Amino acid sequence: MDATIVEVNTRILDIPTIRPHKMSVATMHCQSIVLVRIKTSDGIEGIGEATTIGGLNYGGESPESIKTNIDSYFAPLIIGQSATKLAALRKLINKTIKDNRFAKCAIETALYDAYAKRLGVPLNALFGGVVANEIGVAWTLASGDTQKDIAEAEQMLETRRHNIFKLKIGMRSPKDDIKHIAAIRKAVGDDVSIRVDINQGWSETQTVQNLRALADVGVELVEQPIHEKNLAGMQRLTALGIVPIMADESLKGPEDGFTLASQHCANVFAIKIEQAGGLQHARDLIGIAQAADIALYGGTMLEGSIATIAAAHLFSTLNNLEWGTELFGPLLLKDEILATPLDYSDFTLKIPTGPGLGISLDDDKVSFYTRK
Ligand code: MUC
Ligand code: MG
């Protein structure tokens, strides 16, 4: 039952967002998805995806660099190799190609999809099988306008799509941000979970000055308030114990996870399959968090349906996803490229049960959104 890799195909799809998505690092009007399709000698196709946030606004890889690097370096390296020896392929790729975690994630996802399809099992079976058939999903309020955010939150609650909200702050003054959060808290009531993501937008001093005010307006979790490299600052903010601190941009794989855990730099880890460099490295990072009693949150790089459901498969195998997930990426896009859209209902995302990722592409939509 061995099969070899015969083709690696990449393309970029540009899909508009339903509204501008405003963060302290970037405002997004469109998401660019690098779609990777890997064909194997037994006629199976695996799919993977990479996205970034705002081109190069968030990190060192862009959709264009991901596509070029896969075409020029990954494809020639893996074509002709066994598609069934995933660990050996990971070893070969990591030995030959430094960094490029997002590209590695897209390739690894396609390989896992093909492998699980070949075995006739859902992808989560390769990580031990599901603990939860559905996982909670937060929505990010980031229209840039308080009243629009309130209307959006109310609609999400009414339609039972989301009851956890992450607010993007750090663009306005901290004082105006607190007013913004307080207005949303007043509108949605006390039973709804509100978290904030500052995307490194504050200094350590600003954060020290404002953590108490965030706690007072009912913020339950503060994500990456300060620069990703200021780990001593993250450690000091965590030690204050005012609101749990979540590491996001500081976490780029298991080695960072070990440093942050051993130095007590966060209460919660945002686990992102792309930032970790793929599903297996994300699982390694999760193990470090679990051993250190750091709580888990399933993060997103605002991916489309493919990477979103890949991450969901992995997160569905965890027995302690304490802070839920933010796997809402496909819902931020104006259109869907799957033949059957993912099932978001009753505040959760349902885990597909078919082989591999358990999804299939709508080829017409893929052609329509492909960058010419
Ligand atoms: C981030 O920094 O967490 C995740 C959700 C969202 O709205 O932005 C991303 C990036
Ligand atoms: Mg974040």
Please say if 168 is a catalytic residue. yes
Number of residues assigned to the chain: 372
Q: How far is the CA of 246 from the centre of ligand 2 (A)?
A: 9
Question: Is 140 a pocket residue for ligand 1 (Cβ < 6 Å)?
Answer: yes
pLDDT in tens, 220-234: 999 999 999 999 999
For 293-370, strand residue ranges (E) read 295-298, 344-345, 348-350
Residue 284 neighbours by CB distance under 10 Å: 17
Which residues share a beta bridge with 135?
349
Q: How far is the CA of 344 from the centre of ligand 1 (A)?
A: 19
Alpha helices in the chain (DSSP H): 63-69, 75-78, 86-96, 101-119, 146-158, 174-188, 204-216, 231-240, 254-262, 273-276, 279-291, 305-315, 363-369
Classify burial at 26, counting beta carbons within 10 Å of its beta carbon; exposed 0-12, middle 13-18, buried 19 or more. Answer: middle
Ligand 1 closest atom vs CA 332: 7
Ligand nearest to the CA of 139: 1
Q: Among the options 39, 67, 166, 168, which is catalytic?
A: 168
Ligand 1 closest atom vs CA 272: 3
Ligand 1 closest atom vs CA 270: 3
Residue 266 is predicted with a pLDDT of: 98
Question: Is 302 a pocket residue for ligand 1 (Cβ < 6 Å)?
Answer: yes
pLDDT in tens, 309-339: 999 999 999 999 999 999 999 999 999 999 9
Question: Is 53 a pocket residue for ligand 1 (Cβ < 6 Å)?
Answer: yes
Residue 127 is predicted with a pLDDT of: 98
Is 36 within 8 Å of 107 (Cβ atoms)?
A: yes
Residue 28 is predicted with a pLDDT of: 97
Question: Is 326 a pocket residue for ligand 1 (Cβ < 6 Å)?
Answer: yes
**pLDDT more than 70, % of the chain:** 100
Highest CATH level, class, for 126-350: alpha beta
Please say if 104 is a catalytic residue. no
Residue 369 is predicted with a pLDDT of: 98
Residue 6 is predicted with a pLDDT of: 98
Question: Is 300 a pocket residue for ligand 1 (Cβ < 6 Å)?
Answer: yes
Q: How far is the CA of 107 from the centre of ligand 1 (A)?
A: 22
> What is the complex's ipTM, to 2 decimals?
0.99
Residue 176 is predicted with a pLDDT of: 98
Sequence-distant (≥ 6) Cβ neighbours of residue 322 within 8 angstroms: 268, 295, 296, 297
Q: How far is the CA of 201 from the centre of ligand 2 (A)?
A: 11
Q: Cite the residue boundaries of each domain of the chain with CATH code 3.30.390.10.
A: 5-120+363-369
pLDDT in tens, 279-288: 999 999 999 9
Residue 38's region, left for phi above 0, alpha for psi from -120 to 50, else beta, is beta
Sequence-distant (≥ 6) Cβ neighbours of residue 51 within 8 angstroms: 31, 32, 33, 34, 63, 102, 274, 301, 302, 303, 304, 307, 329
C-alpha 136/C-alpha 328 separation (Å) is 10
User: pLDDT-based confidence at 33, cuts 50/70/90?
Assistant: very high
Residue whose C-alpha is closest to residue 165's, from 180, 176, 26: 180
Ligand nearest to the CA of 58: 1
Q: How far is the CA of 293 from the centre of ligand 2 (A)?
A: 21
Residue 359 is predicted with a pLDDT of: 98
Residue 80 neighbours by CB distance under 10 Å: 10
The answer to whether residue 91 scores a pLDDT higher than 90 is yes
Q: Cite the residue boundaries of each domain of the chain with CATH code 3.20.20.120.
A: 126-350
Residue 55 is predicted with a pLDDT of: 96
The answer to whether residue 85 scores a pLDDT higher than 90 is yes
Residue 334 neighbours by CB distance under 10 Å: 12
Q: Among the options 61, 223, 303, 326, which is catalytic?
A: 326
Residue 238 is predicted with a pLDDT of: 98
For the domain covering 5-120+363-369, report its CATH number.
3.30.390.10
Question: Is 199 a pocket residue for ligand 1 (Cβ < 6 Å)?
Answer: yes
Give the pLDDT mean for 71-86: 98
Classify burial at 125, counting beta carbons within 10 Å of its beta carbon; exposed 0-12, middle 13-18, buried 19 or more. Answer: middle
Q: Ligand 1 pocket: which of 58, 166, 325 to mutate (most atoms <8 Å of CB)?
A: 166
**3-state secondary structure (DSSP) of residue 193:** strand
Q: Ligand 1 pocket: which of 194, 246, 248, 271 to mutate (most atoms <8 Å of CB)?
A: 248
Question: Is 197 a pocket residue for ligand 1 (Cβ < 6 Å)?
Answer: yes
